[in-house]
């Protein structure tokens, strides 16, 4: 089975061709990613209108490059998979509409892929990880602990109550006058700093549930920075180191809670899987490896180019879904929001509604 994948949910325009071999393995025949970092750097974050326009300008060429590199024609494809959400709705519309046009012109089946599900299934693309496994999804827009029990079968064990972990890194970088994207800049400064100089909180530490919170940590960092302003280079490095250590401690504690919940409900996980751009942070990867060893499982961390947004994961998720008989019609709608675990999302909405009454 050979599938073309298209990814446009944020600030990467991507297309890939992935093949499932007769033996059940996977081959990435091409994986083209065009980053828009330069376009958004001046604004300190992604501007949705700029992102959507850039997708329109680049996507046809990126798809052409992916097909050429793979050595395949549209006739060789068994299907078209595109991110249908969640994400910036303008970008999602561009990618899904393009996929619909290709499907209509070629007569190939179409499937709209949940971007989070694609992250969740990447470990099966890279490592053939067997179900059930525990996923730690950490990116600029998402922070979740998920029990991955099968294709389309996901149970959210924990999530952030406010900022995503990557968002907290980006906001910290912006506060301290560092460049964009913020995560790598904070990590670089942290390597030069003293992580014990500033005493910062560890939100939600030691709680039974496996949820996260980063807004209080971010506020505490801002208050510490204001106390000693104007900041020297040493101050910035020490603030970054103290912030990153707090995040690492929170991740370790919250994932321990998540793995405990996993074992109570589903038994031992086959692996602890990490996905999302924050997986590039080496301090976080180190603590995840330590945690996996302590609980007696293995850490599966896909290559960094497959942890961040890419189209190979979309194509692979398409293969997984197509293999089970899933298809979408051409009127499938793009979604700005698309929870991986709808039941958990519904419970959260009910609790918020009750809190306001």
Instruction: Write out pLDDT tens, residues 223-250.
Output: 999 999 999 999 999 999 999 999 999 9
CA 116 to CA 346: how far, in whole Å? 17
Task: Return the minimum-mean-pLDDT range out of 36-45, 80-89, 173-182, 283-292.
Answer: 36-45
Task: Indicate if 209 and 103 belong to the same structural domain.
Answer: no
Task: Indicate if 155 and 279 belong to the same structural domain.
Answer: yes
| 59-85 residue pLDDT tens | 999 999 999 999 999 999 999 999 999
Total number of domains constituting the chain:
2
Task: Indicate if 337 and 268 belong to the same structural domain.
Answer: no
pTM for the complete prediction?
Answer: 0.92
Task: Indicate if 313 and 272 belong to the same structural domain.
Answer: no
CA 140 to CA 238: how far, in whole Å? 23
271 Cβ contact list (under 8 Å, min separation 6)? 123, 127, 129, 133, 134, 292, 297, 298, 299, 300
Task: Indicate if 115 and 161 belong to the same structural domain.
Answer: no
Local confidence band at 343 (pLDDT 50, 70, 90 cut-offs) = low
The reply to whether 126 falls in a domain is no
Task: Indicate if 146 and 70 belong to the same structural domain.
Answer: no
The reply to whether 92 falls in a domain is yes
Task: Indicate if 293 and 154 belong to the same structural domain.
Answer: yes
Q: Is 332 exposed, middle or buried (0-12, 13-18, 19+ CB in 10 A)?
A: middle
What's the distance, Cα to Cα, between the start and end of the chain in Å? Answer: 52
What pLDDT, on a 0 to 100 scale, did the predictor assign at position 285?
Answer: 93
With beta carbons less than 8 A apart as the criterion, state whether 209 and 259 touch: no
Task: Indicate if 202 and 106 belong to the same structural domain.
Answer: no
Q: 234 lies in which domain range?
A: 131-302
In this model, does residue 195 exceed pLDDT 90?
A: yes
In this model, does residue 141 exceed pLDDT 90?
A: no
Could you tell me which residue, 180 or 149, shows the higher pLDDT?
Answer: 149
Task: Indicate if 109 and 136 belong to the same structural domain.
Answer: no
The reply to whether 269 falls in a domain is yes
What pLDDT, on a 0 to 100 scale, did the predictor assign at position 247?
Answer: 97
């Amino acid at each position: 089975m050979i599938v073309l994948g298209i990814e446009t949910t944020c600030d990467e325009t991507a297309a890939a061709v992935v093949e499932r071999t007769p033996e059940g393995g996977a081959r990435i025949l091409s994986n083209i990613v065009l980053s828009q970092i330069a376009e958004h750097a001046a604004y300190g974050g992604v501007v949705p209108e700029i992102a959507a326009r850039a997708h329109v300008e680049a996507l046809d060429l990126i798809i052409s490059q992916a097909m050429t590199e793979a050595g395949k024609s549209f006739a060789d494809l068994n299907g078209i998979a595109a991110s249908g959400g969640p994400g910036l709705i303008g970008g999602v519309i561009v990618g899904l509409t393009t996929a619909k046009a290709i499907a209509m012109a070629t007569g190939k089946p179409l499937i709209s892929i949940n971007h989070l599900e694609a992250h969740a299934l990447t470990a099966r693309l890279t490592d053939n990880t067997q179900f059930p496994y525990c996923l730690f999804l950490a990116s600029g827009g998402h922070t979740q602990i998920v029990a991955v029990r099968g294709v389309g079968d996901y149970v959210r064990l924990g999530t952030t109550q406010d900022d995503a972990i990557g968002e907290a890194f980006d906001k910290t970088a912006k506060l301290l006058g560092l460049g964009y994207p913020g995560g790598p800049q904070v990590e670089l400064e942290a390597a030069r700093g003293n992580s014990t100089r500033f005493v910062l909180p560890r939100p939600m530490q030691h709680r039974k549930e496996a949820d996260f919170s980063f807004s209080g940590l971010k506020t505490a960092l801002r208050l510490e920075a204001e106390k000693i302003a104007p900041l020297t280079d040493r101050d910035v490095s020490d603030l970054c180191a103290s912030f990153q250590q707090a995040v690492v401690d929170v991740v370790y504690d919250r994932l321990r809670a998540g793995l405990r919940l996993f074992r109570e409900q589903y038994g031992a996980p086959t692996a602890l899987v990490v996905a999302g751009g924050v997986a590039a942070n080496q301090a976080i990867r180190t603590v995840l490896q330590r945690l996996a060893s302590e609980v007696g499982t293995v850490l599966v961390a896909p290559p960094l180019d497959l942890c961040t947004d890419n189209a190979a994961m979309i194509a692979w998720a398409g293969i997984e879904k197509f293999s089970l008989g899933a298809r979408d019609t051409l009127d499938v709608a793009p979604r700005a929001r698309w929870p991986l675990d709808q039941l958990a999302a519904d419970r959260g909405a009910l609790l918020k509604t009750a809190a306001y009454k």
